[in-house]
Amino acid sequence: MTDFFTANIKILFDIVAPLSVFLFTLISGYILRGFLFKRLSAWTKNTKTEIDDIIISAAKGPFMIWCFMLGIYFALEISNLPEGHVQLIGKILLVLGIASATLVLANISSRFVKVYSGRLEAALSVTTLTQNISRIIIFGVGIMIILNNLGISIMPILATLGVGGLAVALALQDTLSNLFAGFHIIMARQVKAGDYIKLESGEEGYVTDITWRTTKIRMLPNNVVLVPNEKLSKAIVINYYLPDKEMAVLVNLGVHYNSDLKHVEKVTVEVAKEVMKDVCGSVREFEPFIRYHTLGDFSVNFTVILRAKEFVDQYLIKHEFIKRLHERYAKEGIIIPYPIRAINYQQEKA
């Protein structure tokens, strides 16, 4: 009877002891997580750099997973499971630990690219493609570490990939062309996310993203055009954000031949200056001017030069300028003639 009771106590202890260690580790990790990350968050608010915020934010999520794995490891150390089972579970935990650490590092690197590349003039443009480059590299290193810890040699795998790479390249020729064209677009920095561009085919809009296959362009009607990277790299593109966002706004007009051109110039420039000061999106310090350029069939034609902060601002500037100019011309008696044809009878008789 005593032996039976002792055996049951031993079996119960073999179950309760590892379970108690596991729960203790998990609860301790939960308490430590709340205390540690609260202090770290308060500390990061007093720092100027964003590196610590990125690292803490990325590590906060999987912290409890690491505590869970650590609890299983400690429980296995005091358990009476067969050595083979302990080693197998230990390898699984090691693989999971490396995989989770790889995922955290990939997220940190992706956020580093997003936060800091926009601050450096020579850095890569922030796109889906550039953010995924760092992820792919870190995941590749993580996979090789996992295979090495499992005792699997990576050299035969690399050799196999080298041999099969040619066949894959031939099968995915179009995809790889778009991929490398995307790299070329990003490295050249002639088209970046956020730029307003116009293609030779007529489509125009804001570049929202450059992926491994296509460049996304959001048009003003809020439609998205997907342009293959290879075609974009070969196309004639107008980038309205290069060399900077500011651009001239040209308004073509014409007045009657009987008009006093000096008076027309004075009135037109006065209205243009008012528009530059009042209208949102105009460059306030810019001095507008006009240039007469053509003696047309029925009018003296000229161009008014204004300036906008960026491409889309020109529409409101033109709207307000034409509206105010039409009202002012009416007050000043300046005539914008209709298209007419005059027949000179005296010349015909001669």
DSSP 309: S
Q: Which residues contact 33 (CB under 8 A, 6 or more apart)?
A: 60, 63, 64, 67
**What Rg value do the Cα atoms of the chain yield, rounded?**
35
Q: What is the pLDDT of residue 275?
A: 95
Q: Give CA–CA dist 205/194, Å, rounded.
A: 9
Q: What is the pLDDT of residue 170?
A: 54
Q: What is the pLDDT of residue 165?
A: 56
Q: What is the pLDDT of residue 339?
A: 77
Q: What is the pLDDT of residue 251?
A: 96
For 153-243, CATH number?
Answer: 2.30.30.60
Query: What is the fold, at CATH topology level, of the domain defined by 247-332?
Result: Alpha-Beta Plaits (3.30.70)
Q: What is the pLDDT of residue 104?
A: 75
Question: Residue 252 forms beta bridges with which residues?
Answer: 303
Sequence ranges of the chain with CATH classification 2.30.30.60: 153-243
Sequence ranges of the chain with CATH classification 3.30.70.100: 247-332
Q: What is the pLDDT of residue 94?
A: 74
Q: What is the pLDDT of residue 39?
A: 75
Q: What is the pLDDT of residue 343?
A: 66
Ranges of residues in the chain whose predicted pLDDT is under 50: 1, 4-5, 120-123
Residue 104 corresponds to which tokens in the numbers above? Answer: 């955290």
Q: What is the pLDDT of residue 75?
A: 74
Q: What is the pLDDT of residue 328?
A: 95
